[in-house]
Chains A and B, each alone.
Chain A
Amino acid sequence: MAISTARIAGRRIANGAFIAFCYFVTAIALFFLAAILWTLAQKGLAGISVQTFTMDTPAAGSPGGLRNAIAGSIIMCLLGMAIALAIGILAGTWLAEYSRDGRYGSAVRFINDILLSAPSILVGLFIWYLLVKPLHHFSALAGSVALALVAVPVIARTTEDVLRLQPTSLRESGVALGTPFWTVIRTILWRSAGSGILTGVLLAFARVSGETAPLLFTALNNQFFTWNVSKEMASLPAVMFNDALSAYDDLQRLAWAAALIVSVSVLGVTIIARLLSREQKST
């Protein structure tokens, strides 16, 4: 039976088209990344000067910087991460070490996976209802808690995944020495899973520091510098939201400067986290 050359040619063309398509769409994805980074660099650098770091957010037309917003972002992110760190690691530990495949554990795991991709603006609404409405004023504390709730699922998930990768013999040898199991977890498992957990924490930090939606009606915004977490507090994303949509050139420049600062820190932390997890895989 003769092999139909036309059919072979057809398959070859289809294959060529498929491969070309894959190359093409990957190029598109990379192009968008490059375009966004280019815009950020171009417009962001134009807006950054020494003033950006030494002066507070201005009213339209007067000179100003981002000092209060940078400080606010750092304060709220760190506070939020401190809360999320404790809850996330403990919850992940419970899922991996105590519940294993129990029914309640599966339910919690399922809920955690849903929270991982749930719209963060709903977290903002929840915290508004919980901490802003009863107290009758916006506060940085409410903002931090909202950010914490965004970070917890990420940390819990990575902690669980990494702990599950630890060999059972590690637990057994600890217990065989007569060590209480909770000491085994703290002194052996957490330590050997350390860099993996740190990766998760960094990824959560990266995610949280760019979050805008949960802050809009929890921490609101503030024209002035403050350390007081029971008052409204400025944050870089909130400044971006307000200033980018304003009609004033100088405010828009400031918004782009804020965008550059946030993006560079987020991408920097993401890359560090990636490097960490690679090191961990290779050892």
Chain B
Amino acid sequence: MFEYLCFSAATMLLVTLGGILVSLLIGGWPAFAKFGFSFFVTSTWDPVQDIYGLSALIVDTVVVAMLALLLAVPVAFGVAFFLVELCPSFLRRPIGTAVELLAGIPSIVYGMWGLFVFGPIFAHTVEMPLMNAAASSPGSLLDQLTQGVPNGTGILAASIIVAIMVLPFIAATMRELLLTVPAQVRESAYGLGATTGEVVMKVTLPYVRRGVIGAVMLGLGRALGETMAVTFIIGNSHNFPKGLFDAGATIASTIANEFAEADPGMHTAALLASGLVLFVITFIVLAMARMMLGRQGNA
């Protein structure tokens, strides 16, 4: 009887995942049926005329997540190595806890901080100078990348905030992985005269390579689905962004912004369908992460 109860509770987990999938599929079906393949390759998002296309949203979602990882991964590696190899032991716990607290701050607080504090500083110290520099060479790569309005919101600003948010998750998983490396392996490398940097780059890191890829994928899964922080700072424009400073919108931010007020017809269906697309993308990424990580990684 008790076993049966426990079994049902465990099955609830499967039901939840299945329920998410089925409800998004049924709810989003009208959009898939009406727009067909063009739903994925066009970028018009027009609730007034009831025409919806996802391509700009998908591109923004992927670009923001990738840029965020590009920024967060080296930092997370550095933090994890610092905590495992370099940190004096009396500081290890406080700094470890501090990095974990970074993960505890609610997503929406990052959004407010990003919009009101980080954004203005970012606009003045990074966006403006870069755009001025680019102005002297129209058509160059820098010029193309810096298209947009330098107001501290947009693709790049959102990526930076998401990077800060996924950083602690990747760092914590990395740290866990590094601690699984047997002491003998590291010590024998030191015994051969390797420097700390060499031990980390040539011995420790290759030893946990598979797990590291998993940790990064886990971070990617988080970054793809990040909602509230992105909603605040990406600028919410459904056009294809012209550059990194331009406003955009991710799938999650669009749902957060529009769903509560969407009219019950095609708009709702299109949002549910975009939710399904997000679900499929994150599911694939997270499933790959789990296969690489095994049981490591609590994030």
Q: Which residues of A contact B (CB under 8 A)?
A: 11-12, 14-15, 17-19, 21-26, 28-30, 32-33, 35-36, 39-40, 43, 86-91, 93-95, 97-99, 105, 107-108, 110-123, 125-126, 128-130, 149, 152-153, 156-157, 182, 185-186, 206, 209-213, 216-217, 220, 237, 240-241, 244-245, 255-256, 259, 262-263, 266-267, 270-271, 274
Contacts and interface: CB of A to CB of B under 8 A. Distances in A.
Given A24-B78, A33-B98, A118 B225 contact: yes
Interface string B117-149: 100000000000000000000000000000000
Given A86-B9, A119-B227, A270 B104 contact: yes
A90 B7 CA distance: 8
B218 A210 contact: no
A22 B272 contact: no
Interface stretch (B40-48, B179-187, B237-245, B255-263): B255-263
Q: Main SS of the interface on chain B?
A: helix
Nearest to B20: A126
A259 B256 contact: no
Contacts of B3: 94, 98, 182
Contacts of A255: 112
A42 B106 CA distance: 17
Interface in B5-20: 5-14, 16-17, 19-20
Contacts, number: 259
16 contacts: A12-B195, A18-B201, A19-B196, A22-B85, A29-B99, A32-B102, A32-B164, A95-B10, A108-B11, A108-B14, A126-B19, A129-B272, A213-B227, A216-B259, A244-B111, A244-B116
Given A90-B5, A118-B286, A152 B98 contact: no
B157 interface: no
B232 A129 contact: no
A240 B252 contact: no
